[in-house]
Amino acid sequence: MSEIANTIFSPELAARFDKLVTIYPLRRSALVPMLLYAQDEVGYVSDAVIAEIAERIGLLELDVRNVLSYYSMLRTKPAGKYNVQVCTNISCMLRGGYEILDHCKHKLGIGHKETTSDGVFSLEEVECIGACCWAPAIQINYDFHDDLTPEKVDVLFQMYRDGQGKDVK
Ligand code: FES
């Protein structure tokens, strides 16, 4: 049974949160991981997510919103089923990162932080994702794709549409 009577989270996540707030010396240290887990389950950090996490940790909702606004990987609006993050930091930029970003924009018909009308893809320009040695790189949800060309991106998007995204190299 969860600490919160009317939780918005699944029983599994609620149980995970019950434990998470007990393992740090300060309860608020659990805030960022909780926001990330909640985002994974709900799709974004909604007002309801903010309210429940604040209650679980014993913070004001304003405290949660302040942290939320600092981290670009946390979002307050729904993303597409596949969130495409294109790195344009130095290694990727030198190896065509902006070309990849422009190609994604053109191919998907959306801009930075936008979602396709069918809800399948959303797009973000991001800072280094730690795949510099294989630039240019993108991340789709939690999967990395690197050494990209516009042609490879086309194949990749089609495979995600076909439900085979994780196997694309
Ligand atoms: S600069 Fe793009 S992954 Fe590091």
Q: What is the pLDDT of residues 59-78, one digit of tens each?
A: 999 999 999 999 888 999 98
**116 neighbors 108 (Cβ within 8 angstroms):** yes
pLDDT in tens, 151-161: 999 999 999 99
Which ligand 1 atom is nearest residue 131's CA?
3
128 in ligand 1 pocket by Cβ < 6 Å?
yes
Least confident of 51-55, 62-66, 136-140, 161-165: 161-165
Non-local (6+) Cβ contacts of 169 within 8 A are: 145
Its CATH architecture, for the domain 82-161, is 3-Layer(aba) Sandwich (3.40)
Confidence at residue 166, expressed as pLDDT on a 0 to 100 scale? 61
Name the amino acid, one letter, at 16.
R
Alpha-carbon distance 135 to 124, whole Å?
17
| Distance of alpha carbon 127 from alpha carbon 112, whole angstroms | 13
pTM of the model: 0.81
Please give the Cα distance from 144 to 2 (Å, whole number). 35
Query: Residue 169: is its pLDDT beyond 70?
Result: no
Phi, psi of 86 (to 5 degrees): -105, 120
Among 85, 86, 89, 139, which is best to mutate for testing ligand 1, by the most ligand atoms less than 8 A from CB?
89
Minimal CA–CA distance to 37: which of 60, 59, 63, 56? 56
- Rounded average pLDDT over 94-117: 96
Residue 97 confidence (pLDDT) above 90: yes
What is the Cα–Cα distance from 80 to 73, expressed in whole angstroms?
A: 14
Res 168: pLDDT: 47
Contact between residue 88 and residue 125 where contact means Cβ atoms under 8 Å apart = yes
